[in-house]
Structure 1
Amino acid sequence: MDAESLSSELNTELVFDRIADALSETGYAVLPAALPATMGDALLARAASFDHSVFRAAGVGRADKFQLNALVRNDEICWLTPDNEVEAAYLAWMEALRMGLNRRLFMGLFDYEGHFARYAPGAFYKKHVDAFKGRTNRVLSTVFYLNPNWEVADGGHLLMYDHRDNAIATISPLMGTLVVFLSDRFPHEVSQASRLRYSIAGWFRVNASLGSHIDPPQ
């Protein structure tokens, strides 16, 4: 391993340490410049290159509970796949984070799913919790932001609350910022954006399979 690769690996392990420490102390972590800048640039270029037909209206709920509700959210999404090298690199980083957190916190994280999210001017996502009712498989949420030169007036902030509905964090969707938090612990929302806003939302899941019921679904 050359010196540059060794330095990158050490830096990544330090990032994982910081995330694990923050999750243990507060249940959430906010890290600027957590991933390599080149990866963020490539992901933004990838998201911005999509034809409008690639993104689809985002819904709420899962399986037979899924529905479109523009009063709750009106962003658009495109799921990540390992078939593209840019998306695959991000998924590989998240896989390394999964293993790193399992080593540090024994969380039993099983797999990861994620999607690009595009918020057109005027788009928002009302307050919600990521863990689905009746299912515990989404245990850790991630958001990675892809917006250079974002200003406060641009809106689109992530607002996080505690279980008593007290505001605990207002996070700007600035390029390179990574947010990681316990999925069932923090209600959160995305305030209305006034300019085009990109991010990647994702979730680490545990294996909640029981008998013939496979969860996560294959």
Structure 2
Amino acid sequence: MNYNRNLCYCGQMTEQKVVVTLGIWTYRKQVTVSVFGNCLGFDIIEGALDQLYELYPDGITLEDPKTGKELEVDETSEEKTDWLHPLFIGAEIIDIQPEKKHLHGTARFATKQDLLNRGLLNDGLVFGQGKNAQNTRGTNEMNNLEKELKNYFYDKGYGNESEKEAADMTAFLKSLINKKLEAIENAAENIMDDLFTFRNSLFSENDN
């Protein structure tokens, strides 16, 4: 593999495939994930490990390659936070390619720190991911809003209909927010495409 770092030049985004090896005693598991971003090396490895928490939120099965016996490891088997970290015994980046579509998907940047640096992550809430966004704090806030709306409608005399009214209002707000975020995402994507086109035109002029 040609690990071409120039693919990340000037903020260009890449898709990098990483094989992560997990192990404990003689039990092993290899998982291949794709990490999107403009980072290199260890930052990509960190991003791959972060993705494993999304793929296996509750537990993972390892296997002894000689005996075929399986071992279940769940989030309560190790530390509650970063429970997969003690199982990490190796990783290798096996491929790097230009990302076909900018600003798309749930893992567009390699690490949490990268999101923080770019102002896209604020105290646990990810902005700019439109309909693809999945974050715990956002879900909890909507649940709290629904509870408050239920109390509001109950105080207004809706009685047993309070819960239904609150659910309908929350669903409407979720839909509205997602549409707004998707519009912002599309606008940002168009701006990035224009910037890369302009950048490439400058390089073409310099070559001539």
Q: Same fold (TM over 0.5)?
A: no
TM-score, normalisation: structure 2:
0.22
TM-score, normalisation: structure 1:
0.22
More helix by share: 2
Q: Which has the larger radius of gyration?
A: 2
